[in-house]
Structure 1
Amino acid sequence: MIDKIFDKVDEIKEELFQLSKNIHENPELSFEEYKSSGFVKDLLREHNFEIEENSGGMETAFKARFKGKADGPRIAFLAEYDALPEIGHACGHNLIAMVSAGAAIALSKFMDEIPGEIIVMGTPAEEGGGGKVILIEAGEFDDIDYSLMTHPSTENLINRGGLAISSIGLKFYGVSAHSAAPEFGINALQGVIQTFNNIDSMRGIFPTGTNVNGIIIKGGIASNIIPDYAESHFTIRARTLGDLKIVVNHFKNIVESVEKLTGA
């Protein structure tokens, strides 16, 4: 059976390559993957999958179903297709969509011999948007027995493990003033800078394997004006959900302290 499935993959490989190319050449950000999700759905329709739109209330999420000869386990292949800002598909989500669609299509050709159901789940907004979390909370995984996906890597691995993650957006609001009279303003950028400094000073007490990384998105408009608004974004990763909660709690305490110190 496995050899027969591989043969089917070979038969449709040009369709799969074109799917990957279409997604790669049309990068779309989280929750905006209209073309990309459409490419995947179109291919699945051509192979007689039944499409359910707007999974979890998201316009770019979907389920594509193909039923077997009798009731049995429901197997979901997860397809990602969102891109990164400015650099496109650097994480290879075009390949994830291609592999999940290809595996499902190839297996569907034998479902008249197999009980159960194949489901391709279009899962948008992986890059920080929490698309799968939204789907889980909406109950879209409740009827799924097993879910599978791959991720591009430099080597073949069955499971490399993963990290718990939390993405945090941080905004400080101050009062604008001329830099010659900073005492009349409240420097919002100082809130962001002090947050970074405090995080760096506390890395030694974070649980082993924790990673905290941040960027400054906005920090003012001119060097002679005290910024009245500053924005940053942080990603926190940890080996366990418990460790993640510890670091997130430290982060919240840091921000609260910075608020008091800077007034922003």
Structure 2
Amino acid sequence: MTQLQGAADLTAVKEQTTQEIEGLRDQLLSISRTIHANPELSWKEYKAAALVADTMREAGFDVELGAYGVETAVEAVYGDGDLTVIICAEYDALPGVGHACGHNVICASGVGAALGLAKVADEAGLRVVLLGTPAEEHGGGKVSLLEAGAFEQADFSMMVHGMTATPDMTGDSHSARGMSSTAVDRFEVTYTGLTAHAAAVPELGINASNAAVLALNAFAMLRQHLPKETNLNAFISLGGEATNIIPDRTVVQVELRAYDLEIWREMKKKVLRCFEAGAVATGCTWEWAPTEHPYAPVVSDEVLAGLWDVNFAARGRTIDTEVRLGGGSTDMGNVSQVLPAIHPLVTFRGAGAPPHNPAFTAIAASPAADEALMDGAVSMAATILDVALTPELRADFKARKAARPAGATQAKFSS
């Protein structure tokens, strides 16, 4: 690592990195638009993963497609410094509405930050890792990667996420400190009853659909008795096949969210009692099983968040430090629970559509999204350089990693 001389050198390296990223604008926008035009669902992001892998390989990164046993994960590494940052790049889409959460922007912005940092990695003593992380919307790609040890190497991690403006904002962009998310647990409940002719001999049947209906009524009544800022949703995904056959199998999909892990876990116990009640009332048997990895809430690292806000403001952004934005969930929460991390929002200025809506899909390929992509890439790179080239910050993050027990990043979260 070259010994730099202080603030002037840090400013110069930041400017060099910014110029490098700006010079990649056309390439980065092309990556974003290509992914946007070819939406792929969780665990099936073959084209996006290949595009990222090819891009990073051409830039001189050591690349593994299918990293850590996850078919559509990508690990691209540059540099051999003793400070490792993992930049996460998501690229999965949503069923029916495509990139209505803007993961095309997330991916291209992460690629841009990593490519820009590669040019200064040696003098900054950095090991830059771009980690393509599939299945954020449903599945939890980062959780699979955590469990496989992908984040054991990291001193810290970050990514950005696009967002449209919200009515309560006083600035044009949210503070990284204002980003919050809920824990989420998704599972299915299966009731098993007994078929019979619904008109001739209904007394001989055990109606699994009735069990689900009773349970969902109890589930709805439970809402009144849960703490504020919890959220629970469910639907019957299999409830019968014909009106004249009493259904012997019914399946319910369930989702539970809360900002607090202990509240989340207690809510799960109460919800399961609702489903047990449906079985008791009807005589069905029942069982439940997870359908995805659980997600933990995001814990924003205060140091990284503060650095991000300064660097993002330097891009001409007006940072709103008062508004907290949350309600959704992300597997980046699991990452943030086990090592220093941030998940800041980059606002698509002038746009006002809700996420997971077709209008958001259109905005995610707009000039406003392109601007956010570039601002996000530059701000991530600048934040990483602040840590790498400020001796006391570098020492702090190195010390935190050294104090972390082996295997600590592979911790599992469950409700």
TM above 0.5: yes
Q: Which amino acid aligns with 1:125?
A: A
1:112 aligns with 2:115: no
2:222 maps to 1:202: yes
The match for 1:82 is 92
Deviation at 1:121, TM superposition (A): 0.8
**Relative contact order (alpha carbons < 8 A, sep ≥ 6): 1 or 2 greater?**
2
Amino acid at match of 1:219: G
Deviation at 1:7, TM superposition (A): 2.1
Output aligned runs, 1:95-106, within 5 Å.
95-106=105-116
State which of 186, 189, 208 in structure 1 corresponds to 2:209: 189
The separation in 2 between residues aligned to 1:192 and 1:96, in whole angstroms, is 39
Question: What is the match of residue 168 of structure 1?
Answer: 187
8 A Cα contact 2:50 2:65, kept in partner: no
- Assess, with a 3 A threshold, how the Cα gap between structure 1 residues 252 and 56 changes in structure 2: closer, same or farther: farther
Given the alignment of the two structures, is residue 242 of structure 1 paired with residue 254 of structure 2, yes or no?
no
Q: Could you say which residue in structure 1 is the equivalent of 2:40?
A: 28
What is the correspondence of 1:217-232 to structure 2 with a 5 Å cutoff?
A: 217-232=237-252
Against the structure 1 CA distance between its residues 228 and 25, is the aligned structure 2 distance closer, same or farther, given a 3 Å change threshold?
farther
Q: CA deviation at 1:119?
A: 0.3
Taking only aligned residues, the RMSD between alpha carbons, in angstroms, comes to 1.7
2:75 alignment partner in structure 1: 63
Partner SS state of residue 166, structure 1: strand
Please, what TM-score do these two structures have when normalized by structure 1? Answer: 0.92
1:252 and 2:272 matched: yes
Contact kept, 8 Å, 1:75 with 1:145, in 2: the verdict is yes
Contact 2:238 2:252 in 1 (8 A): yes
2:53·2:65 contact (CA, 8 Å) conserved in 1? no
Q: Deviations over 1:173-196 (max 9, x none)?
A: 222233314322222222222222
Following superposition, the deviation at residue 153 of structure 1 comes to 0.8
CA 1:259–1:56: 2 relative to 1, 3 Å: farther
Greater helix proportion: 2
Query: 2:216·2:274 contact (CA, 8 Å) conserved in 1?
Result: no
The number of equivalent residue pairs is 262
**What's the CA shift string for 1:223-250, capped at 9, x where partnerless?**
3332222222121110111111011111
Q: Could you list the runs of 5+ residues in structure 2 that have no partner in the other structure?
A: 1-12, 166-172, 285-415
Taking the aligned partners of 1:91 and 1:194, their CA distance within structure 2 comes to 35
Q: Hey, what does 1:141 align to over in structure 2?
A: 151
Contact map agreement 1:128 1:167 (CA 8 A) in 2: no
Paired letter, 1:162: S
Distance 1:232-1:83 versus aligned 2 partners, 3 A rule: farther
Q: TM-score with structure 2 length normalisation? A: 0.60
Question: Would you say 1:53 and 2:65 are equivalent positions?
Answer: yes
Aligned match of 2:31: 19
Instruction: Tell me the percent identity.
Output: 37
Deviates more, 1:53-62 or 1:143-152: 53-62
CA distance 1:182–1:152, shift in 2 (3 Å): farther
Query: For 2:43 and 2:67, how far apart are their aligned partners in 1?
Result: 12
Larger deviation: 190-199 or 238-247?
Answer: 190-199
Q: 1:22 to 1:135 in 2, by over 3 A?
A: same
State the distance in 2 between where 1:193 and 1:84 align: 28
Local SS of the residue matching 1:170: strand
Question: Using the alignment, how far apart are the partners of 1:244 and 1:128 within structure 2?
Answer: 19
How many angstroms does 1:78 deviate by? 0.5
1:197 is displaced (CA, Å) by: 0.9
Residue 124 of structure 2 aligns to a residue whose secondary structure is coil
Task: Point out where structure 1 has 5 or more consecutive residues left out of the alignment.
Answer: none
Aligned amino acid, residue 166 of structure 1: D
| CA distance, structure 1, for counterparts of residue 252 and residue 41 of structure 2 | 19
1:107 Cα deviation after fit? 1.6
Give yes or no for the alignment of 1:94 onto 2:94: no
How far off is 1:208 after superposition?
Answer: 2.1
Q: Counterparts of 1:85 and 1:216 in 2: how far apart (Å)?
A: 18
| 1-structure distance, mates of 2:162, 2:105 | 7
Q: Which residue of 2 aligns with 1:215?
A: 235
TM-superposed deviation, 1:73 = 1.2
